Structure 1
Amino acid sequence: MNRREDFSQQQSVTDNSKANCSMGWKYRRDEYLLALLSSVPTGVGNKLRQLAYPLVFERFGKNVTIEFSVRFIRPKSMVIGNSCSICNYSFLNCWEDGGELVLEDSVRLDQGFHLQALGGKVRIGQNTYLGPYVCMAGPGDITIGKNCLIASNTGLYANNHIFSGVDIPINQQGLTAKGIEIEEDCWLGSGAKVVDGVTIGRGSVIGAGSVVTKDIPPYSIAVGAPAKVIRQRTLSEVK
């Protein structure tokens, strides 16, 4: 290797090191800002967050309400639409590469909402409400359509552990991640669970405490563990 090539390699390492330091500082700066402002009570705190948070998110809409003690991890991977609200003690994590969260306009996340994107893409449609202590996890993609109602303590888990080998610990066998889709105008009752690979059709109702393991056709009412369709909604109910 000649001196020119050696210098070029050293310069490349130096440039990469500077880039990593710069990126690390940006993450730390954002984390410090979020930690500082998240502790300020709603009212004055919300005004401060409306001013500062557009600097650290991918996009941060107008008239957004973020209550105190809401924690964001890697907000540069998050889009918050206009007139959204996120209630206190919520946790939204898009740290892993590829992770992404999009809240369309007028989405409301109630107290204690918990998201671990784990590298998956999560999109919540316009005018959708997620109740207290709803939990969502990737790494499969999760899509919730507009005008949905997701009641308290509901869980959406877009992953499944492989456990076929009895001679290998389950936590070392990897995951499958097919994704979850909830089409628009659905209502999931309190404590419902939706597993990986499921699509819930438009206008469907899932009973409280149900476990959805298979696709649900549009305009269905499904209950039980595992959830089974007990009837279809009629036109008079839809109007």
Structure 2
Amino acid sequence: MNHNPSSHIWNRLLQAVLTNLLGNIPTNAIGGKLRNLLYRPIFAHMGHSVDIQPGVTFVNTAAIELGSKALILQGVRINASGHPNNKFILKDRASLENGVDVRAMNDTSIYIDEGTFIGPYVCLAGPGNIKIGKNCLIAAHTGIFANNHIFNDPTQNIAEQGVTRRGIVIGDNCWLGHAVTVLDGVTIGEGSVIGAGAVVSKDIPPYSVAVGVPARVVKSRKEEQLMIKYSF
């Protein structure tokens, strides 16, 4: 690791110049190729055929990894600033739709696995770690917040009592409907479906359908499949 302060300042300056200049180039064959070519040296990793549209904001590209054929649409903001261990990883064929807000700050790792779709204006925020599995569908305006304010002491300002950072895990092939909220410490099992507007404050078993505030499991997708299988 290079601890030379002048080198660090130069890298940050290069990141700022490139992301500002390239971020405004129109989406076309030339613009896409320029972004792929000139962005590559400033990211921790960048696969082939990455599609970064104009108007995307990156902060601390040295902590950001982009897989092959990843798609990042206009208005996305990825902030990985403030700590040397911050990390944001977007794997192959995963996509971030317009206006997605990612905050991988304060010693945070946010990982989005292959083929997962993150809908418009979704917010992903640490400081707890977030891991989203393969081929998930996360609908618009969902909030995934791996932190929760501590408020036990009524004599002290809430903002001064710190936050939890237990982290969030969402298994493969999950579908979260519009405006779902996932709170710190939650694991959503593989193959689960969370209904629109639900607030997930406790773990959801694999292949569950959960709805409501707070979210509660209303049926199992596996049991439903068994009923279909043996009803003939």
The alignment's TM-score, normalised by the length of structure 1, stands at 0.90
Superposed counterparts of 1:1-239, under 5 Å = 19-43=4-28, 44-97=30-83, 98-118=85-105, 119-233=107-221, 234-235=224-225
C-alpha distance in 2, partners of 1:156/1:199?
11
C-alpha distance in 1, partners of 2:215/2:76?
28
Quote how far apart the aligned CAs of 1:167 are. Answer: 1.3
RMSD: 1.5
Query: Residues 46 and 238 of structure 1: is their aligned pair in 2 closer, same or farther, counting only changes over 3 Å?
Result: farther
User: What secondary structure, in the 3-state scheme, does the structure 2 residue paired with 1:24 have?
Assistant: helix
Q: Percent identity?
A: 44
The alignment's TM-score, normalised by the length of structure 2, stands at 0.93
C-alpha distance in 2, partners of 1:162/1:133?
26
C-alpha distance in 2, partners of 1:152/1:86?
15
Give the letter aligned to residue 23 of structure 1.
H
Query: Residues 196 and 72 of structure 1: is their aligned pair in 2 closer, same or farther, counting only changes over 3 Å?
Result: same
Checking the alignment, whether the CA contact within 8 Å between 1:73 and 1:92 is kept in structure 2 is yes
After TM superposition, the runs of 4+ consecutive aligned structure 1 residues lying more than 2 A away are 234-239
Quote how far apart the aligned CAs of 1:236 are. Answer: 6.1
Deviations 1:25-73 (A, max 9, x none): 2101111111110011111322210111111001101011000000000
Number of aligned pairs? 222
Which 5+ residue runs of structure 1 have no aligned equivalent? 1-15
C-alpha distance in 2, partners of 1:141/1:238?
38
User: What secondary structure, in the 3-state scheme, does the structure 1 residue paired with 2:102 have?
Assistant: strand
Quote how far apart the aligned CAs of 1:96 are. Answer: 2.1
Quote how far apart the aligned CAs of 1:21 are. Answer: 2.2
C-alpha distance in 1, partners of 2:82/2:186?
23
User: What secondary structure, in the 3-state scheme, does the structure 1 residue paired with 2:153 have?
Assistant: coil
Checking the alignment, whether the CA contact within 8 Å between 1:38 and 1:45 is kept in structure 2 is no
C-alpha distance in 2, partners of 1:196/1:238?
35
C-alpha distance in 1, partners of 2:27/2:108?
30
C-alpha distance in 1, partners of 2:145/2:86?
15
C-alpha distance in 2, partners of 1:22/1:218?
47
Higher helix fraction (1 or 2): 1
Greater Rg, structure 1 or structure 2?
A: 1
| Cross-structure match for 1:8 | none
Give the letter aligned to residue 40 of structure 1.
I
User: What secondary structure, in the 3-state scheme, does the structure 1 residue paired with 2:111 have?
Assistant: strand
